[in-house]
C-alpha cells in the first residue's frame, strides 16, 4: 500500500520538505486510527447512519448524492489571532459577521435539506460571534451532530459554557505542537498559558454539566516533530478526549514555508481524487455558497461562488450544473471537467 508520507524533497533553495499525500484515504485512516475509531462510535451513538459514515470516506463507491453529508457554516471570517499559515488576515474576502437574517435562512435550509451534520468553521474564529450561544443552540436542536472548530483563546468562561450548554457534539481545538515558544510564534496574539487554562476549564465545565461533548485536540505538526509525535500525543491527551494529528501543509496562496509539509498533489500539479464536492457545501458569513472552500483562497481561479442563500436554496446549489460537472469529473477521472482542481491539495 502507498504510504501517506514520503521521502524529503529538496527545492530550488535547497530546503527539504516531507511530502504528504492527502488523498490516500486508507493510509489516512491507519495514521489516525484511534481518534477516527472514537469519532466513528460517537457518530453511531448520535444516530448518524452507518451508510453515511462509509459514504463520507468513499463517495466514489456510491451513486452521486443529491444532498450533502454535512454543511459547513462560517459565523465570521474575523479572527483574534494572526497565524503564520492561515489566510484569514490576508484580506482575500471582505470580513464580517453573519447576521441574524442570514443565520435564519441557513437554519431554514438545513432543516429543509434534512442534513444530519453541521460543521461550524470558516476563515475566522466562530466564538467571536456575539450570537454564538443562540446560533449553536438552534443548530443543535435542528440536526443530529454539530461540531465547532476554535482556537481556544477565549477571554471569558461564557464561551465554553455556551458550547457545552448547547450540547455541541464535538469541540475541535486547534493547537501547535512544540511548546509555548512554537505555539506563540506560530499564532501572533495567542497566549499559551491562556490556552492551557481554557482547556482545563473546558474539561471542568464538561464534568460539571455531565456533558457528552467530545473534546478533540487538533494537533498541528511540523516535519521536524515527526520523530516525537507519540510523546506529543501523550502530552496533549490530558487536555482532550482525542488528539487528531494534523500535518501542517504548504498552501500556494500563503507565503509561508518554514518547516512545513508539502502536499504531493500540489508538488506535481496533479488533479487529486477529491471527496469535497460529494460531501460538503459551505455557507459564508454573508450567505454566499461556495463550491469548495479551497477555491476561495487559491491563486489562479477566482472564488467559485455558486449563489447566495438569500436567493437560492442550498439543495438547488448542491445540484447545480457546476457541482454535477465536478462530481462526475472526479468520479470518472475526466480531468477536463475539473480544471480548477489542478494542483490543489484536495480533500
Ligand atoms: S478545488 Fe481542491 S478541494 Fe475543491 S473540489 Fe477541487 S480538488 Fe477538491
Q: If you take atom 4 of ligand 1, which residue's CA is the nearest one?
A: 292
- Report yes or no: 318 and 67 within 8 Å, Cβ to Cβ: yes
Regions of the chain short of the pLDDT cut 70:
1-2, 7-16, 297-303
Q: If you take atom 3 of ligand 1, which residue's CA is the nearest one?
A: 346
- Report yes or no: 16 and 226 within 8 Å, Cβ to Cβ: no
Residue to probe by mutation, ligand 1, list 268, 272, 294, 323, most atoms within 8 Å of CB? 294
Which is the closest atom of ligand 1 to the Cα of 345?
A: 2
pLDDT value of position 16: 62
**Cell of residue 265, nine digits:** 498533489
pLDDT value of position 235: 96
Ligand 1 centre and the CA of 214: distance in Å?
29
pLDDT value of position 303: 56
- Report yes or no: 225 and 177 within 8 Å, Cβ to Cβ: yes
Q: Is the dihedral of CA 164, 122, 264, 7 positive or negative?
A: negative
pLDDT value of position 302: 52
Buried b (16+ CB within 10 A) or exposed e, 148-173: bbbbbbbeeeebbbbbbbbebbbbbb
**What is each CA distance from 9 to 19, 223, 260, 334, in whole angstroms?**
7, 12, 12, 29
Ligand 1 centre and the CA of 56: distance in Å?
15
Which is the closest atom of ligand 1 to the Cα of 344?
A: 2
pLDDT value of position 264: 84
Which is the closest atom of ligand 1 to the Cα of 277?
A: 5
Ligand 1 centre and the CA of 176: distance in Å?
25
Ligand 1 centre and the CA of 277: distance in Å?
7
174 — phi, psi (to 5°)? -90, 125
pLDDT value of position 181: 94
Ligand 1 centre and the CA of 252: distance in Å?
13
Which residues 6+ apart lie within 8 Å of 278 measured at CB? 55, 59, 60, 64, 65, 69, 327, 330
Q: Which residues line ligand 1 (CB under 6 A)?
A: 272, 274, 276-277, 292, 294-295, 326, 340-341, 344, 346-347
pTM over 0.85: yes
Which is the closest atom of ligand 1 to the Cα of 292?
A: 4
Ligand 1 centre and the CA of 276: distance in Å?
6
Ligand 1 centre and the CA of 339: distance in Å?
10
Q: If you take atom 1 of ligand 1, which residue's CA is the nearest one?
A: 341
Which residues 6+ apart lie within 8 Å of 250 measured at CB? 17, 256, 257, 260, 261, 262, 263, 266
**Length of the chain, in residues:** 347
Which is the closest atom of ligand 1 to the Cα of 295?
A: 1
Ligand 1 centre and the CA of 297: distance in Å?
11
pLDDT value of position 15: 59
**What is each CA distance from 129 to 109, 145, 149, 156, 328, in whole angstroms?**
21, 20, 13, 14, 37
Amino acid at each position: 500500500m502507498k504510504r501517506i508520507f514520503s521521502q524529503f524533497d529538496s527545492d530550488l533553495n535547497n530546503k527539504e520538505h516531507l511530502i504528504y499525500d492527502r488523498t490516500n484515504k486508507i493510509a489516512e485512516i491507519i495514521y489516525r486510527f484511534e481518534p477516527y475509531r472514537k469519532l466513528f462510535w460517537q457518530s453511531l451513538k448520535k444516530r448518524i447512519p452507518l451508510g453515511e459514515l462509509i459514504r463520507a470516506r468513499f463517495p466514489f463507491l456510491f451513486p452521486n448524492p443529491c444532498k450533502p453529508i454535512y454543511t459547513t457554516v462560517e459565523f465570521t471570517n474575523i479572527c483574534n489571532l494572526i497565524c503564520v499559515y492561515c489566510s484569514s488576515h490576508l484580506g482575500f474576502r471582505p470580513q464580517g459577521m453573519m447576521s441574524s437574517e442570514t443565520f435564519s435562512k441557513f437554519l431554514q435550509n438545513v432543516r429543509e435539506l434534512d442534513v444530519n451534520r453541521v460543521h461550524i468553521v470558516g476563515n475566522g474564529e466562530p466564538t467571536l460571534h456575539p450570537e454564538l450561544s443562540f446560533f449553536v443552540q438552534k443548530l443543535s436542536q435542528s440536526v443530529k451532530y454539530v461540531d465547532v472548530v476554535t482556537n481556544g483563546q477565549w477571554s471569558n468562561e461564557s464561551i465554553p459554557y455556551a458550547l457545552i450548554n448547547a450540547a455541541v457534539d464535538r469541540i475541535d481545538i486547534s493547537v501547535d505542537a512544540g511548546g509555548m515558544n512554537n505555539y506563540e510564534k506560530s499564532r501572533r496574539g495567542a497566549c499559551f498559558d491562556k490556552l492551557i487554562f481554557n482547556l482545563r476549564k473546558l474539561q471542568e465545565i464538561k464534568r460539571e454539566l455531565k456533558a457528552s461533548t467530545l473534546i478533540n485536540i487538533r494537533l498541528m505538526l511540523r516535519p521536524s516533530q515527526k520523530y516525537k509525535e507519540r510523546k506529543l500525543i501523550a502530552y496533549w491527551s490530558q487536555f482532550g478526549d482525542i488528539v487528531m494529528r494534523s500535518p501542517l501543509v504548504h498552501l500556494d496562496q500563503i507565503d509561508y514555508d518554514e518547516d512545513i509539509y508539502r502536499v504531493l498533489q500540489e508538488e506535481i500539479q496533479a488533479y487529486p481524487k477529491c471527496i469535497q464536492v460529494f460531501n460538503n457545501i459551505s455557507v459564508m458569513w454573508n450567505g454566499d455558497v461556495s463550491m469548495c472552500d479551497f477555491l476561495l483562497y487559491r491563486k489562479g481561479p477566482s472564488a467559485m461562488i455558486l449563489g447566495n442563500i438569500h436567493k437560492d436554496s442550498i439543495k438547488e446549489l448542491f445540484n447545480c450544473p457546476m457541482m454535477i460537472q465536478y462530481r462526475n469529473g472526479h468520479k470518472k477521472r475526466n480531468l477536463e471537467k475539473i480544471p480548477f482542481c489542478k494542483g490543489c491539495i484536495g480533500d
